[in-house]
Amino acid sequence: SQTIHQWPATLVQPVGSPLSLECTVEGTSNPNLYWYRQAAGRGLQLLFYSVGIGQISSEVPQNLSASRPQDRQFILSSKKLLLSDSGFYLCAWSAPGQGALTYEQYFGPGTRLTVT
């Protein structure tokens, strides 16, 4: 069965410090991968998605970036965090390609980031 992992679970970082959040998926190959941010316990904002290694689409311009160095690894980064980067970051995967049966997404447990 497929599982998705995120770490760390919680993170407190000062303004201006770098960020690296990691997401890995097991049990599937070539998944579509997604990074979302959820602020104030509400609303999911799609930040990035990837349909393959090295292929990243950005939905919202900001000081965050994403990379996919391996098939089942998705990393969210920042060189300098802002206060407004605080939130709950969720990684998700869906079945690969455009021939998926139903396109549903499966979410990881999330990372709570507090920028101080």
Q: Which residues bind another protein (CB under 8 A)?
A: 32, 34, 41-44, 46, 49, 51, 59, 90, 92, 94, 98, 100, 102-110, 112
What is the C-alpha to C-alpha distance for residues 34 and 47, in angstroms, rounded to an integer? 8
14 versus 40: smaller Cβ distance to another protein: 40
What is the C-alpha to C-alpha distance for residues 19 and 98, in angstroms, rounded to an integer? 32
56 versus 106: smaller Cβ distance to another protein: 106
CB of 108 to another protein, least distance (A): 5
Using CB atoms within 10 Å of the CB of residue 96, give its burial: 0 to 12 exposed, 13 to 18 middle, 19+ buried: middle
CB of 27 to another protein, least distance (A): 16
CA distances in angstroms from 5 to 55, 65, 109, 116, listed in the order given: 20, 19, 7, 25
23 versus 115: smaller Cβ distance to another protein: 23
CB of 23 to another protein, least distance (A): 11
The DSSP secondary-structure symbol of 54 reads: T
For residue 58 the two structure tokens come to 């950005």
CB of 90 to another protein, least distance (A): 6
